[in-house]
Structure 1
Amino acid sequence: MKCVEVLDSKGWQLFHSVPFLIYANDKQWISHLQGDVQDVFNPQKNPIASHGESRIFVLLDNQGKPIGRIAAFIDHEANSHLEYPIGGIGFFECIENNEAANLLFETAENWLREKGMQAVDGPVNFGGRDKYWGLLVKGFYPPLFQENYNPSYYASFFEANKYIAWEQILSIKGDLNDLDVSRLRAVCDRIRQSNEVVVELYDPKKKDKYAVDFCEIYNAAFGRFEHFKPAEPEKIKAILEESKLILDPLLLAICYINGQPAAFCATFPDINPLLKSARGKLSWWKIPGLIFRLKTAKKLFIKGTGFAIHPDFKTKGAFALIIEFMASPALSQKYQYYFLTTVRAHNREAVSLYFKAGKMQVDRVHIGYRKALQPNVEVVPNEFMEV
């Protein structure tokens, strides 16, 4: 067996072929879009790649056939704010063979050590923490869009290679019909009596304003958490532009109280069930068919960050107003289940807020692992929940 670096289109073909070997008999699996995965490592598509570096490897067996893959990467800008430099590994896939898995880890970790990294996180994304993040350990259902899915035996690979379960990542499932609006209705009415309240749906013509107001709420709500990266209006506008064919304005809204951005709801239709037949390749001529199926689908899941409340409005009823919006008949007629994804279990404030919305349950659990690459580094796990 040997690891080879992906350097050209042929290498990428080998890289993308590995999951089709691993999941050949798994009817639950849905391939990531291969173009999306490659864009993660393209500096023109991913700003983090422009100030970071990466190496991508494929493991070949003795007959030259691909049997595993792994990517290793470094975000130099993020490391400038950390106690010690941390690298990442992701997009890991491997046959059920300990020797093969060990060689993949060793190859990636050796490169990271050469670059001066003192620890490594995995499996994670070379980019936003809202996708391609964590190892699935509970809830082996068909994956949501850009959600990691893997065989259960992968956990033993990580743990045998001295990776420590460092953070617990939750996907929380709810039913729009179960949102507890009745007890919040009086709160909403009281707020409206003494304040000017507007819940504004996303309008592409007001994209610039939406992006600025979204960032104001997001940065204020999450800025105190570890690994926080400020949302920037230009990046939000780019996401909205890239998603314009699939986004539903009913799922994107900002609540204003007395003209100030107080809370947002940010979710998207989960298009993954519509992508299963694409097998990782969404050619341009397939897009009209995807859009048609999206518009005519009877019931799709909702997936997203969920909602956030500006700290200045936590005690002023903004939460009640957002829940009232999510429980609107227009939404429940088109959707039923929603998933609030990549929720960190140690962010107890967010977890508590989400569960106040109604009958919620932890549907899937991913684990983010961390491994010390130097003897002076101690890995201290975050707080986990019983699920």
Structure 2
Amino acid sequence: MTNPPATVQIQPVNTPEAAEQFLDVPNLVYANDPNWVPPLRSSVAKQFAPDNPFFQYGRLQRFIALDQKGRAVGRVAAIVNDRLIQKEQKAIGLFGYFECIDAADVAMALLEAACQWLREQGMVAVRGPIDLSTHNNCLFLVDGFDSPPYVMMPYNPPYYPQWVEQAGWQKAKDAYAYDFPGNRLASEYERAYQIAIKSGVNFRSIHLKGEGFQKDAMGLYDVFTKAFENNWSSTPRTQEEFMEEAKSLQSLVDPDVFWIAEVQGEMIGFFMALPDYNLALKHVNGKLNWFGILKFLWYRRSIDRVRVIAICVLPEYRRKMVAPALIYVGMKGGVTRKKPYTKAELSWVYEDNLPSRRIIEGVEAKIYKTYRMYEKPL
């Protein structure tokens, strides 16, 4: 293991005090960055709680870098996801939750501490950044630093990818975010919508209450798991994980931009978008105390843009024009509501996902941010 620089000490997180310091690091790194949106501190902390379903099939070790004053100036987590190893048939570890001040030697020491722990776990390669799994935060932003991230999208200083590349990490895969002007209805896909309707597909917005929500959430889990089972570097969430996330998002969903495709009452696809709550979260500084909740509710009213997270269709229905039809109803719902959305981001899409890229680029959406995953042999 490379010795850490003399000015810092790399320390494993094994006390409540160190866990709090781990959570503090981003506030130092992004103190003067106008584009950064602080994540909810409680949400990040919850990911390390013993009752997180991840720990049924994974393990991790967190590290922090402490300067001479005892201040945490960097952090990283080394992660073993046994479900991913089983899927890829390779002992590949992960690094995630990486944040560091602008000091390359500190960053290298943190990353090497993570790599060394993964070697001790029997890993032969490392990939990242991935926070536990690709269903959480992942990827480094490598192009498009001039604007804030949309909700649930990564953001980082430009020196992060520069550091890992200088240290010999190789690009594993790029992903893109597309900019889509919300006032441009996808009218050319209206024909796809009509074709899908004639072939027996029904479209409706998601149910958000009672048994209807529970049934829709289970349908989303089934479709998501089947449609994305071969996604790169990804493993299906457990039903428990998926339902917990669904419940956490229930009050945030706008049914105008969350549409479901059905055939004979069975879900076969969906268009999942969320209002860009980062526009409100920007003002609460990562804490939803009573004052933070009031500010969130106040700024939530002015959200005028939306992030399209997934356009998902079961494989056997992809030739029935369901995907472009879902784009049509989803975008139409966004621009015909009482307070229309003026802008949308479609993200993220892997560079080699050509079928999805063709559909998205067919409505003149443009790539405006690029993200990257890295790998390195151990």
Q: With structure 2 as the length reference, what TM-score do the two structures score?
A: 0.89
Matching of residue 248 in structure 1 with residue 254 in structure 2: yes
Q: Would you say the 8 A contact 1:218–1:231 is kept in 2? A: no
Matches within 5 A, 1:217-236: 217-230=223-236, 233-236=239-242
SS where residue 245 of structure 1 aligns?
A: helix
C-alpha separation in 2, matches of 1:194 and 1:126: 40
Matches within 5 A, 1:1-387: 1-44=8-51, 46-127=52-133, 129-140=134-145, 141-181=147-187, 183-193=188-198, 195=200, 197-205=202-210, 206-230=212-236, 233-294=239-300, 296-297=301-302, 299-326=303-330, 327-328=332-333, 329-331=335-337, 333-356=339-362, 358-373=363-378
C-alpha separation in 1, matches of 2:122 and 2:138: 23
After superposition, the Cα gap between the structure-2 partners of 1:9 and 1:284, relative to the gap in structure 1 and judged at 3 Å, is farther
Q: CA deviation at 1:116?
A: 0.5
Taking only aligned residues, the RMSD between alpha carbons, in angstroms, comes to 2.2
C-alpha separation in 2, matches of 1:195 and 1:65: 61
- Quote the sequence identity (%): 25
After superposition, the Cα gap between the structure-2 partners of 1:363 and 1:220, relative to the gap in structure 1 and judged at 3 Å, is same
Q: Would you say the 8 A contact 1:179–1:323 is kept in 2? A: no
C-alpha separation in 2, matches of 1:352 and 1:332: 31
SS where residue 233 of structure 2 aligns?
A: coil
C-alpha separation in 2, matches of 1:191 and 1:355: 20
- Between stretches 117-126 and 220-229, larger displacement belongs to 220-229
SS where residue 80 of structure 1 aligns?
A: helix
Q: Would you say the 8 A contact 1:201–1:254 is kept in 2? A: yes
After superposition, the Cα gap between the structure-2 partners of 1:29 and 1:197, relative to the gap in structure 1 and judged at 3 Å, is closer
Q: CA deviation at 1:194?
A: 5.4
Q: CA deviation at 1:252?
A: 1.8
C-alpha separation in 2, matches of 1:184 and 1:63: 59
Q: CA deviation at 1:363?
A: 2.0
Q: CA deviation at 1:191?
A: 4.1
Counterpart of 1:379 in structure 2 is none
C-alpha separation in 2, matches of 1:177 and 1:57: 46
Q: CA deviation at 1:83?
A: 2.5
Q: CA deviation at 1:234?
A: 4.4
Deviation string for 1:261-297 (max 9, x for gaps)?
Answer: 2320111112112112322222255324423432x21
After superposition, the Cα gap between the structure-2 partners of 1:191 and 1:64, relative to the gap in structure 1 and judged at 3 Å, is closer
Structure 1 stretches lacking a partner, 5+ long: 374-387
Q: CA deviation at 1:218?
A: 2.2
C-alpha separation in 2, matches of 1:277 and 1:333: 21
Structure 2 stretches lacking a partner, 5+ long: 1-7
After superposition, the Cα gap between the structure-2 partners of 1:331 and 1:184, relative to the gap in structure 1 and judged at 3 Å, is same
After superposition, the Cα gap between the structure-2 partners of 1:330 and 1:9, relative to the gap in structure 1 and judged at 3 Å, is farther
SS where residue 279 of structure 1 aligns?
A: coil
Q: CA deviation at 1:9?
A: 2.9
SS where residue 244 of structure 1 aligns?
A: helix
- Between stretches 162-171 and 5-14, larger displacement belongs to 5-14
Q: Would you say the 8 A contact 1:2–1:61 is kept in 2? A: yes
Q: CA deviation at 1:184?
A: 3.0
Counterpart of 1:378 in structure 2 is none
Q: Would you say the 8 A contact 1:41–1:54 is kept in 2? A: no
**What is the letter of the counterpart of residue 149 of structure 1?**
Y
After superposition, the Cα gap between the structure-2 partners of 1:258 and 1:31, relative to the gap in structure 1 and judged at 3 Å, is same
C-alpha separation in 2, matches of 1:94 and 1:203: 40
Between the two proteins, the alignment pairs up a number of residues equal to 367
C-alpha separation in 2, matches of 1:355 and 1:282: 38
Q: Would you say the 8 A contact 1:135–1:366 is kept in 2? A: yes
After superposition, the Cα gap between the structure-2 partners of 1:188 and 1:63, relative to the gap in structure 1 and judged at 3 Å, is closer
Q: Would you say the 8 A contact 1:215–1:232 is kept in 2? A: no
Q: With structure 1 as the length reference, what TM-score do the two structures score?
A: 0.87
C-alpha separation in 2, matches of 1:287 and 1:109: 39
Q: Would you say the 8 A contact 2:258–2:270 is kept in 1? A: yes
Q: Would you say the 8 A contact 1:131–1:148 is kept in 2? A: no
Q: Would you say the 8 A contact 1:198–1:257 is kept in 2? A: no
Q: Would you say the 8 A contact 1:202–1:253 is kept in 2? A: no
SS where residue 183 of structure 2 aligns?
A: strand
- Between stretches 311-320 and 48-57, larger displacement belongs to 311-320
